[in-house]
Structure 1
């Protein structure tokens, strides 16, 4: 992963009881993000401290590419599919300035 990676983190509050359906749809429509040539990967995490809260982390080659995706028809459709499960959310953007690889899982 390049130090120039542009990272987007979404915090999504999901309607109580809809978490499993949200996870299923997120997996189903995720390739609309990960198939974009500027996307470096995407992760879905469920909070262990806050009920019905998920975090989506998405890495991009640069901010300009992410911003073009953010306003694209492909992104609008992606959001449309996930929106019925949301009750709120927020977005934070950042640049990776350093990466120290760990040894976990290495033999």
Structure 2
């Protein structure tokens, strides 16, 4: 029997705000794209996106969705995460992050994403 919606862990969203050193934005984007598999390869990761502020080209947001908080914390404390973070850190002048529990999303938002809607397995479709 499938657990009810109330019994299932709530998806967990992490939003990282990064201020990138002037003139290093393009290089940062390239390194992020080249290393994104580290995050996407974790079994608890549902997807991620890189966004740039439209009013400040040096400010970026990395948003990632996780099956649950425990899955994110497992990744956060892993050697893979520490190595991944060390590759992005040289471009960063400042930053912050916030975590959120996804309570509800409309069908339209889920389908439009930033990430594909998860399949029954909890993983996004390939």
Residue 23 in structure 1 maps to residue 35 in structure 2 = no
Q: Which has a greater percent of strand?
A: 1
* CA RMSD across the alignment: 1.8
**Alignment of 1:76 onto 2:62:** no
Count residues in correspondence.
Answer: 104
| TM-score, length basis structure 1 | 0.91
Runs of 4+ in 1 over 4 A off after TM superposition: none
TM norm structure 2: 0.78
Contact 2:48 2:62 in 1 (8 A): yes
Conserved? CA contact 2:9–2:67, under 8 Å: no
2:57 to 29, 40, 51: 51
Structure 1 spans left out of the alignment, 5+ residues: none
- 1:89 is aligned to 95
Decide whether aligned partners of structure 1 residues 96 and 3 sit closer, same or farther in structure 2, where only a CA change above 3 A counts. Answer: farther
CA contact (8 A) 2:9 2:68 kept: no
Give 1 or 2 for the bigger CA radius of gyration: 2
Kindly indicate whether structure 1 or structure 2 has the higher relative contact order, using CA contacts under 8 Å at least 6 residues apart.
Answer: 1
Q: Measure the CA separation in 2 of the matches of 1:65 and 1:102.
A: 26
CA–CA distance in 1 between the matches of 2:73 and 2:79? 12
Structure 2 residues without counterparts, runs of 5 or longer: 1-7, 113-126
Partner of 1:97, secondary structure, is: coil
Q: 1:101, CA displacement in angstroms?
A: 2.3
Aligned equivalents of 1:33, 1:21: Cα separation in 2: 19
Q: Name 2:38's counterpart in structure 1.
A: 32
Q: Could you tell me how far 1:3 is from its partner in structure 2?
A: 8.0
